[in-house]
Amino acid sequence: MFSSGQDPYDPKQGGVPPQHGMPDFNAHFEALSPDAPMPRKVTTTRTLMFIGGVSGLLLALLFLMGLGAPEEAMNEALDQQSAYFAAEGVEMNIDAAMMRSMMVVMALITGLYGGLSMLLGTRLRRRTVGVYWGTVLFQGLAGLILGWGLFHGEFLMLVPLGFTVWMLSNMLSREGRAYFGLL
């Protein structure tokens, strides 16, 4: 007993009401039913994959639009950039052909990322093990590439890397695995 003579945990005396089980303790088992709604973590991952996919496809279109620039205009812009870099003491040896080849490679990479992200995002509703592991592998590879860029000094890779790690942790969570039948 307490000095007041009342037990603060006794609900009959106005104490703390009893807890009826742990919240969300069985949430991962409810996700196994065939008509279960998509868990919030998987929905968040799906939404972020759509946003990343659209961004990748739009970036690919921007790179392809740049390929339509005339060679004279591209050489003029590269000469201006070379002059700016020379004023800073940096030498830039890029001509129009090299710039076009870099733009093609960047369009392929961002377009491939955008297309795969959109494809996996649309397939997440199917609840197959292949889609689950495809998403985990895709996000894992994206995380490795972003981490490699971050390791080599590209600090702007930190934001997409954070989103990628978040999506991976959502998919590897108990609710995410249960939704795809992988407990």
Label each residue of 78-104 as H, E or C: HHHHHHHHHHCCCCCCCCHHHHHHHHH
> Looking at residues 66-86, what average pLDDT do you find?
91
Residue 20 lies in a domain: no
Residue 124 lies in a domain: yes
Q: In which domain, by residue range, is 119 found? A: 37-179
pLDDT at 93: 87
For residue 102, being part of any structural domain is answered with: yes
Residue 11 lies in a domain: no
pLDDT for 36 equals: 79
Identify whether 54 is part of a domain.
yes
What is the average per-residue pLDDT within 118-127? 93
Q: Which among 121, 173, 108, 168 is positioned nearest to 142, based on CA atoms?
A: 168
pLDDT single digits (tens) 7-66: 666 666 655 555 555 555 565 666 667 777 899 999 999 999 999 999 999 999 999 999
Q: How far is CA 94 from CA 1, 18, 64, 67, 88, in A?
A: 83, 72, 18, 15, 17
Percent of the chain with pLDDT over 90: 68
Looking at residue 12, its pLDDT comes to: 67
Question: Rounded to whole angstroms, what are the CA distances from 17 to 8, 9, 115?
Answer: 10, 8, 52
* Residue 92 confidence class, pLDDT cut points 50, 70, 90: confident
Name the domain count of the chain.
1
In a domain, 173, yes or no: yes
Report the mean per-residue pLDDT for the chain: 87
Does some domain include residue 114?
yes
Token representation of residue 10: 């006794």
Residue 137 lies in a domain: yes
Residue 4 has pLDDT above 80, yes or no: no
Over the range 33-49, which residues count as b (16 or more CB within 10 Å of their CB) and which as e?
A: eeeeebbebbeebbebb
Instruction: Please tell me the predicted confidence (pLDDT) of residue 94.
Output: 87
In tens, the pLDDT along 152-169 reads: 999 999 999 999 999 999
Tokens of 111: 């377009």
